[in-house]
A and B are shown apart, each in its own frame.
Chain A
Amino acid sequence: MLQKLTLPQKLIFYTLLVLLAIVILFPIYYMISISLKLPKDIYRTPSLLPRNATLQNYVDLFGKMHFLINIRNSIIVAGSATIISVFISCMAAYSLVRLKYRFRDWIGRLILFTYLTPGALLFISLAVIINRLNLGNTLQGLIFVYLTFSAPLSTWLLMGYFRSIPADLEEQAMVDGATRWQALFRIVLPLATPGLIAVSVFTFTGAWNELLLALIFITSPDKQTVPVAVSYLITGDVFRWGLIMAGSVAAAIPVIVLYYLGQRFVVQGLAAGAVKG
């Protein structure tokens, strides 16, 4: 489909693109504009432009609300969840794709099945389990809980990706004397890097954005993650829109940057993974 466009085609395409950009960016713009307003201006003089623009909400957010602590917590949780989940999912996916053993198909199905389970179903039992493991109200507990959604998805996507890498190569290396581990780490993983990055980006974003589980499992204010902290800006019957939007902007920026950097690999990784999934 990659062919030179005629002028009228170009015209149509770029009009559509601009339209698309407006649809995507307008909510973001409004979010930023509200984050620059004080409550009275938000309510009494609604406007599209931030009249009397001020950075006060951001000052409050990072000063009074200690938002940096929340960002740190989110980085710890999402970062560790990503590392752990990608690591164990790599092994699982490799095992399920390359090694032959009994129940392999069943295990594969089981992993997919777990991904289909509605989260609302797990909530109370998870609270019990996490506390039995003495992980209640800890970031470690949250990291562990996030495996519920990150491990099945990562394993599944990576299985697809590994399948797209011909097996002969490792077999050759092993005939050559490499162990399975060496084959995995020296040959398969380097080839699967785009897939790994794609899966990491997904896991990181999923963990960074997760609200419900974090809301329930974390009680101490100094352990709250970013979405929890933002949701706590709604107190009882009061929405502090300016602060909430400032928090939202701050919460969204890291993942948006991550996607911007990883975008190429996400596309590549998805391509191979999903095509062969």
Chain B
Amino acid sequence: MRKHISLFSTFALMLALLLSACAAPAAAPADSGSGDSAAAPTEAPAAAAASSDDVFTYWGGLIFSDAANQMLVDRVTQWGEERGVKTEVVMINQNETVQRVSAAIEAGAMPDALDVGRGFMLLLTQQDQLEPIDDLYNEIGDAVGGWLPAADEATSPDRYGGHRYGIPFSLGGNVLYRRVDVLEPAGFTEAPQTWNELYEMAKAAQNPPENYGMGFALSNVGDGNLTTTMLQSWGGRVADDEGANCTLDSQEVRDFLTWITTAYDEGLFPPGATTWDGAGDNVAYQSGNAVFIANPGSVYLYMRDEDPDLGNSTKYSALPAGPAMRIAPVDANVRVIPKSSGDMDLAKDLLKYLADPEFMKEYYYNAIYGPAAAGYQDAPIFTEGPVHVGLLDLALNGTFGAFPDVDNAAFAEYQTNFLTPRMIQRVVVDGLSVDDAVAETQQACQDIYDKYK
């Protein structure tokens, strides 16, 4: 018996130790952080746990740049201090925004204001989750020198049942990166103007397995939807002008699919492109493994901070044109106020505070976005930073959102199901013929559009 009792007491002691281990650090003030400025994670965890009712909660979008994330946190905190409001800023990883927000809506635990992408704003307005903020939109617009057309278009009341629901804070999209140290020896000094040109250049310059020409994702992630853009620039359309019926079964789509699958079969895509996650193209380029990629700016930030050599071998340009037209989608990120927000006036005040041009100009230096308003446009970074120049160009001249398709919930679902990259995968992975893949995707697409009729 003694042996067992001693065993049991050891076990009990273990539990007790565990308990005390939990209790001790919880009680101690958590200032384990280094000498950074008031960083959010270090702030009194005990206080936050006590009651969340009188705390103003803001969900920001976590992006690659730590500096940009920190700026947003600091700015909201500063606002809270000035207004005497307790704030909590939560940076939500963009990869999990949808799950997070879904759970929060169902649970009735939405924050008082948050950052979302325009597509998600559309879904949220359809579920009647957001507060209309037309006046605030106009008021802030006046203060920031007027919204850029793309930002205005992205929040246009026509799309959202007659109201504006979001304050745009950035316009983003893809810029084409190219490795000049690979392309110039092969005789290509200029940026490709068409996708076909790009294909020829990639084919001539690449040198596998050291590097591959076309570092574009063909996988089931957001980056893979660049192929929808390509498809449209071939003249293909996902759906008709009413946005009600799918029109994938067209010669243009077949031509595009033939083009891209040929390029794949010729080995122009880096290995893994059909299952890359969001980081796939970044990694390929950062490893020196891709000649061309399309990226919003995170690769540029990486090279600026970690790999200047690669940065110096890189040039940037706008996305090329297809046989039919040039499509360079630009999309807005917006700040929205949920209907459940505890204090509308405070939330609106915060959005005004965050829209301050001086703050935003500094923010753009660290973030990877184009400006949303004319008043942000003269930030030095938009003339100095090579990618930011491209992003400004995109913000001014890019095509909006789903264009030329109708931007509706069905299109959004088509995109979140990654039907275009999947159609490509059906050919290059499963060996379907181009015709079969198009027919099958047309059916799957129509099934989605039918749900919204």
B-binding residues in A (CB < 8 A): 38-40, 43-44, 46, 63-64, 66, 68-69, 72, 75-76, 79-80, 82-83, 123-124, 127-128, 130-131, 136-139, 189-191, 193-194, 196-197, 200, 215-217, 219-223, 231-232, 234-239
Contact = CB atoms under 8 A, between A and B. Distances in A.
B194 interface: no
Given A232-B62, A237-B282, A76 B26 contact: yes
Contacts of B103: 123-124, 127, 216-217
Contacts of A238: 64, 279, 282, 298, 302
A222 B45 contact: yes
A63 B33 contact: yes
B94 interface: yes
Given A232-B62, A236-B298, A130 B48 contact: no
Given A66-B41, A123-B103, A232-B62, A237 B279 contact: yes
Number of chain B interface residues as a range: 35 or more
A45 B42 CA distance: 36
Contacts, number: 165
Nearest to A261: B14
Given A136-B107, A219-B92, 18 more contacts: A39-B302, A64-B34, A66-B41, A72-B26, A79-B18, A79-B21, A80-B19, A124-B103, A127-B106, A127-B109, A190-B8, A215-B100, A216-B96, A220-B45, A222-B30, A235-B94, A237-B281, A239-B279
The B interface, classified by DSSP as helix, strand, loop or mixed, is helix
Given A40-B306, A221-B91, A75 B278 contact: no
Nearest to A229: B41
Given A40-B307, A193-B8, A79 B19 contact: yes
Nearest to A223: B45
B32 A66 contact: yes
A83 B17 CA distance: 12
A228 B33 CA distance: 19
A69 B278 contact: no
Given A40-B307, A63-B34, A221-B40, A124 B282 contact: no
Interface string B35-62: 0100111110100110010000101001
Given A193-B7, A216-B99, A237-B282, A83 B45 contact: no
A224 to B, nearest CB: 8
Interface string B252-278: 000000000000000000000000011
A200 B8 CA distance: 13
B283 interface: yes
B379 interface: no
Nearest to B49: A138
A228 to B, nearest CB: 9
Nearest to A212: B99
| The 7 residue pairs across chains A and B that have the minimum distance between CB atoms | A131-B107, A127-B103, A237-B278, A222-B45, A79-B18, A190-B8, A127-B107
Nearest to B64: A238
Nearest to A86: B15
B287 A44 contact: yes
Nearest to A213: B103
B43 A222 contact: yes
14 contacts: A40-B306, A75-B18, A124-B106, A131-B108, A138-B49, A190-B5, A220-B88, A220-B90, A232-B62, A237-B223, A237-B281, A238-B279, A238-B282, A238-B298
Contacts of A130: 107
B48 A220 contact: yes
B282 A66 contact: no
Contacts of A221: 40-41, 90-91
B42 A235 contact: no
B279 A43 contact: no
A44 B278 contact: no
Interface string B159-189: 0000000000000000000000000000000
Contact of B102 (A38, A76, A124): A124
A236 B4 contact: no
A34 to B, nearest CB: 13
A75 B22 contact: yes
Nearest to A258: B14
A231 B90 contact: no
Given A131-B107, A234-B279, A69 B32 contact: yes
Nearest to B30: A69
B127 to A, nearest CB: 14
Contacts of A131: 107-109
B66 interface: yes
A232 B94 CA distance: 10
B4 A216 contact: no
Nearest to B42: A66
Given A127-B107, A130-B107, A232-B93, A75 B100 contact: no
A74 B113 CA distance: 28
Contact of A236 (B22, B57, B95): B95
A231 B279 CA distance: 13
Nearest to A67: B32
Contacts of A123: 103
A76 B22 contact: yes
B288 A64 contact: no
Contact of A43 (B22, B63, B287): B287
B62 A235 contact: yes
Contacts of B281: 237
A232 B92 CA distance: 9
User: In this complex, which of A72, A191, A223 has the most chain B Cβ atoms within 10 angstroms of its Cβ?
Assistant: A72
B283 A43 contact: yes
B25 interface: yes
A64 B41 CA distance: 10
Interface in B289-325: 295-296, 298, 302, 306-307, 310
